[in-house]
Structure 1
Amino acid sequence: MNEALRSRKRGDKSAAAFTASIPFDRRLYGQDIAGSIAHAKMLSRQGIIAEKEAELIIMGLISIREEIEKGEFSFRTELEDIHMNIEARLFDRIGEVAGKLHTARSRNDQVALDLRLYAKEAISQTIEALVGFQRALLDLAEANKDVVMPGYTHLQRAQPVLLAHHLLAYFEMAQRDVERFGHCLEHADIMPLGSGALAGVAYPVDRSFLAQELGFARISANSLDAVSDRDFVIEFQAASAVTMMHLSRLAEETVLWSSAEFGLVE
């Protein structure tokens, strides 16, 4: 093999590694498999594929999920993403019938679904954590409701305040954070399957069944928007940034209060 050909092959491998998303989107395996199981059930229910075919596909997907959760699944960079990794493994397990899973579904609405399912879970967990943080603030405020401390402006002592009052300021900040994430959850809670690549699918799919199976509150109204919308991701990032700013503020105050100059925390 001449040097030019070896160089090109090295470049091909580097490009493939650079464009592969599997190191990141492998975390979507649960959402991807859940969406595919629901889709297979719907295809069978609508008579688009045979019941036995759907059962075989679902069993194959469940076994792949178990492989991943046991750490026995070999993720392949050359297959680029989690969707192709799971699809290839399904072909290995059940043969050509695996190809029928792609009936009435595009990679576009599949990816959109996975991301929405993942975002919904992440948002719900974040809201739960924030509510727990609020409970801790309430408990701390209740335990120190008679403690007086100096209130500061520009690091100068200004007026006396109750420690409980100061702590409950963070309760209010956290409440706004909860509300922001709640709005974000509403925008993520829309089921996109059935949108196809961009203009719907030519099969009698049951989108209401899919939404119910996957726990979505609503069905997307426009296929073009459904496969391209990532607003809810940006909203999650923005809400997260505001939340982290609030937590950073509390952390910085704790650092100041525990310094020798302030001496408020031992």
Structure 2
Amino acid sequence: MALWSGRFTEGADAFTQQFGASLPVDTRLYAQDIAGSVAHAGMLAAQGIISAEDAAAIAEGLAAIKADIESGALAFDVQQSEDIHMAIESELTARIGDAGARLHTGRSRNDQVATDTRLYAKQRATDLMAANVTLREALMAQAEEHFDVILPGYTHLQHAQPVLLAHHLLAYVHMLARDFQRLAAARDAADACPLGAAALAGTTYPLDRFATAQALGFAHPISNSLDAVSDRDFLLDLIYACSVSCLHLSRLCEELILWSTSEFGFITLSDAYATGSSIMPQKKNPDFAELIRGKSGRVVGDLVALMVTLKSLPLAYNKDLQEDKQGAMDAADTLEDCYVCAAGMIATMTVNADAMAAQAKKGYLAATDVADYLAKKGLPFRRAHEVVGHLVLTCEQRGCDLEDLALADFQAESDLFESDIVECLNLPAIVAARTTYGGTGHDAVRVQLAEAQAALAADRARC
């Protein structure tokens, strides 16, 4: 019989019991639920609402239930309990009697589930922050190991200007550092305690909500009982952080997929992060990078689903909110798996520096520097841009590159060209010359690496 059965004359239909049950999802919250119940019982005893003996029996009984769940000795059935909260309370009462039945004094499942979910969100955000740091470490290790490697930088997926591979990889480190901040903000958003708000209006019992908040490691109790039981913004924050980070991982994996093709050949993925074909013996497919790219869509879907669920809910609690957890759990689980997979893929990939260098010599990557050469000699940049455009056209007609042109070819377009123009055609020099803060020059990238290392150390401490 359900814990709320006193007002009802018949039990739930077997189908509606199954349809309305959240137990298959919220079983994962058993540890959080037990922690919240232990804190609540301790506070009730401290306030003289239940006896110290009852509180001790509750704590002991809950500890035994937790051990049995974790050992596999205890499992729950949706035909007996619709959620983890009722399942644990029923089991507790069966084991310790009336003391267990007193546990729910001054509490509703509304504030109970909100508390459990916030505890879960805080822990999962912390887990994701740690996994984020590990991936950034892998990217930075590759950046440092291959610091001098040059590859084409792209816009519109066309060769644009030469850049250091380290500079390219650090762009993803910066994206992930922002993702870390979003995850940390989501953890902070969840760090407020709903326990004691009861169903929606508070309670007549003299609860000490500050004591339970402190016991559970929350920064403070939520100050409005209606908001305490109905707010799920913290889950939106968590899933949003997961969604943005999945988008960044999708971008990274798209490049790894392209870079591992025969057309690029920039990297070779480890066999541990690739698969073969059932029919084509020669194939080595970047399946796991593709899976990360694909899974990002589902995580974005999790965000949209919860936003639509919440958009029209009146205060305070509504059963719709039962749908809040599955998407958040999926988003967090998926992102963590993607972080782990991406970190392994990055750490074990082989960088083919020669292939990158060969491609960096194609596509007239020195063109901007040749235009800058003329501008520095006084020619307006727009005119310099036009002059170099003519030179590129000449190269296309001849089937050569800028470095293949003779000095006379340059001087035919502008008498400002002198023999030192060859220095503007040297790719390492082109890269090294970009010394402005944030640029791809060696000195500038060393600064970026140092800053990224400092940020990483600070974030590692926050995990």
Partner of 2:32: 31
Structure 2: which amino acid aligns with 1:42? Answer: M
Secondary structure at the aligned position of 1:190 is classed as coil
2:152 aligned to 135, 150, 153, which one?
A: 150
Distance 2:54 2:221 in 1: 27
Within 5 Å, give how 1:159-170 maps onto structure 2: 159-170=161-172
Gaps of 5+ in 2: 1-11, 269-463
Within 5 Å, give how 1:189-228 maps onto structure 2: 189-228=191-230
Structure of greater Rg: 2
2:99 aligned to 71, 94, 97, which one?
A: 97
- Using the TM superposition, give the Cα deviation of residue 154 of structure 1 relative to its aligned residue in structure 2, in angstroms: 2.2
- Using the TM superposition, give the Cα deviation of residue 84 of structure 1 relative to its aligned residue in structure 2, in angstroms: 0.9
- Using the TM superposition, give the Cα deviation of residue 38 of structure 1 relative to its aligned residue in structure 2, in angstroms: 0.6
Within 5 Å, give how 1:110-259 maps onto structure 2: 110-259=112-261
Partner of 2:265: 263
- Using the TM superposition, give the Cα deviation of residue 74 of structure 1 relative to its aligned residue in structure 2, in angstroms: 2.3
Partner of 1:52: 53
CA contact (8 A) 2:152 2:159 kept: yes
Distance 1:14 1:53 in 2: 37
Render the CA deviation track for 1:23-54: whole Å, top value 9, x for unaligned: 11100000000000011111111111111111
Distance 2:72 2:251 in 1: 39
Distance 2:13 2:242 in 1: 38
Secondary structure at the aligned position of 1:135 is classed as helix
Higher mean C-alpha deviation, range 184-193 or range 134-143 = 134-143
Task: List structure 1 runs of 4+ shifted beyond 3 angstroms.
Answer: none
Distance 2:94 2:241 in 1: 42
Distance 1:19 1:209 in 2: 33
Secondary structure at the aligned position of 1:49 is classed as coil
Secondary structure at the aligned position of 1:219 is classed as coil
TM-score normalised over the length of structure 2: 0.54
Structure 2: which amino acid aligns with 1:117? Answer: L
Distance 1:241 1:104 in 2: 37
Distance 1:12 1:191 in 2: 35
Distance 2:29 2:198 in 1: 20
Partner of 1:7: none
Distance 2:190 2:263 in 1: 47
Partner of 2:74: 73
Secondary structure at the aligned position of 1:101 is classed as coil
CA contact (8 A) 2:214 2:220 kept: no
Identity %: 54
Distance 2:93 2:51 in 1: 17
Distance 1:96 1:49 in 2: 11
Structure 2: which amino acid aligns with 1:41? Answer: G
Distance 2:197 2:21 in 1: 25
Distance 1:235 1:74 in 2: 32
Distance 1:45 1:12 in 2: 41
Secondary structure at the aligned position of 1:105 is classed as coil
Partner of 2:17: 16
Distance 2:17 2:264 in 1: 56
Structure 2: which amino acid aligns with 1:64? Answer: I
- Using the TM superposition, give the Cα deviation of residue 196 of structure 1 relative to its aligned residue in structure 2, in angstroms: 1.1
Distance 2:187 2:180 in 1: 10
Distance 2:126 2:75 in 1: 30
- Using the TM superposition, give the Cα deviation of residue 15 of structure 1 relative to its aligned residue in structure 2, in angstroms: 2.1
Distance 2:210 2:154 in 1: 56
Distance 1:199 1:16 in 2: 28
Secondary structure at the aligned position of 1:120 is classed as helix
RCO greater where, 1 or 2, for CA within 8 Å and sep 6 or more?
1
Secondary structure at the aligned position of 2:159 is classed as strand
Distance 2:107 2:243 in 1: 35
CA contact (8 A) 2:40 2:212 kept: yes
Structure 1: which amino acid aligns with 2:92? Answer: L
Distance 1:208 1:64 in 2: 27
- Using the TM superposition, give the Cα deviation of residue 12 of structure 1 relative to its aligned residue in structure 2, in angstroms: 2.6
Structure 1: which amino acid aligns with 2:16? Answer: A
Distance 2:220 2:133 in 1: 25
Gaps of 5+ in 1: 1-10
Partner of 1:83: 85
Distance 2:49 2:13 in 1: 40
Secondary structure at the aligned position of 2:102 is classed as helix
